[in-house]
Amino acid sequence: MKYLIVGLGNIGDAYKNTRHNIGFDVVDCLAKRWSVEYEASKLADVAESTYRGRQVTLIKPTTLMNRSGRAVAHWMQQKKVSLDKVLVIVDDLALDLGVLRLRGKGSDGGHNGIANINAILNTPRYARLRFGIGSNFGRGRQVDFVLGKWDKQEEEDVSFGIERAADATESFIFRGLANTMNVFNTKPSS
């Protein structure tokens, strides 16, 4: 079985450790666990691994966040991965910090990266793991918040959340969507 795990984010040092790049952080955690390195390739940085007998491709699109769909479509086709074996990891303002929500389909929820993937794939029927980044910002400050770095007080929760999101991704690969939703769509206990 082949899986495509997509971490959404923006490339470049200016975006490292920002809330919007949590998808990159989660796939980086998996690459570290599995001792694999990324290589620059078409539309994405790509790392290949095997997890419990499954072939897994990790990608970090090198397109802009809002054009991530091109990278997802390309690597699905390149690696011959079916839609039910794709997982997109993304930040979510509507969830409290560190809360995970795994779904097998859904709207873009106002996230431009997901909106573009839905449009390019012509379907919202693929798994997405939403990582809560909270919504602690004032009126008109959403962009600054999303593109901002984590506060010192948030870092411990973020580290715990990244590990938990990596666990959820491994569970998705090995145990499937429904079983993983039952375990990980609950309040974390740090």
Active site residues: 20
CA angle (18, 62, 47) in 5-degree steps? 95
What is the distance of C-alpha 47 from the center of its chain? 15
CA angle (80, 109, 27) in 5-degree steps? 45
DSSP string, 44-113: EEEEEEEETTEEEEEEEE-S-GGGHHHHHHHHHHHHT--GGGEEEEEEETTS-TT-EEEESS---TT-HH
Question: CA 92 → CA 42, 53, 135, 170, distances in Å?
Answer: 27, 31, 9, 20
